[in-house]
Amino acid sequence: MEKVFVSRNNTAAIKCPNCANVKMVSVEQLKGKAFIINAKCPCGAVFKVSIDFRRTYRKSINLPAHIQMLARGGGWLAVLVRNISKGGVGLVLPARYGIEVGDELVLQFTLDDRNHTEIERKIVVRLVDDSFLGCEFIGPVQHEQEKALGFYLMP
Ligand SMILES: [Zn+2]
């Protein structure tokens, strides 16, 4: 089931698993809880979507990073990491780069912790809000990176 994040104006980008059509839906009235909703796409597909408002601890940062678009290959693009949590990152792009909800990227950056830990994680885009991307970590994580991030995120 697709899990979607909610943007600052309480809308969620719901992507159809059948035709990849993305629709912005207002979820204001659901605020404060995790919900599963039934979505119906104009293409006829009916599917369930998990909408997650729950906040994990998110640290505001401002670190340079690079992303690579997995599907399109090519070079590394410069971005800024604006926030980080155990579950993912918020990125700001200097340009849109044509990135859409559901795109998978590789993210590389160096934490400003004592060891300057190198982070390299696979992420999936869950939210596109102008030049801001809300992304979720996916795939395996190296134990050392996970441990370093755990320390880094201690409030
Ligand atoms: Zn559809």
Query: 112: domain CATH number?
Result: 2.40.10.220
Can you give the three-state secondary structure of 71-122, one letter per residue? CCEEEEEEEEEEEECCCEEEEECCCCCCCCCCCEEEEEEECCCCCCCEEEEE
CA of 73 to the centre of ligand 1 (A): 26
Question: Are residues 141 and 72 both part of a single domain?
Answer: yes
Rounded-to-integer distance, Cα 106 and Cα 79, Å:
12
User: Do 79 and 121 lie in a common domain?
Assistant: yes
Q: Residues 82, 122: one domain?
A: yes
| 114 in the same domain as 91 | yes
Domain of 135, in residue numbers? 59-152
pTM of the model: 0.67
How does pLDDT run along the chain (155 residues), one tens digit per residue? 777 767 666 778 888 889 988 888 887 777 666 678 888 999 999 998 888 765 567 888 999 999 998 887 778 999 999 999 888 999 999 987 889 999 999 999 999 999 999 999 999 998 888 899 999 999 888 888 989 998 898 86
Q: What is the DSSP letter of 6?
A: B
Query: How many domains would you assign to the chain?
Result: 2
Q: How far is the CA of 111 from the centre of ligand 1 (A)?
A: 39
Q: How many CA atoms lie within 13 A of 108 on its CB side?
A: 9
The answer to whether residues 32 and 63 belong to one domain is: no
75 and 129 co-located in one domain: yes
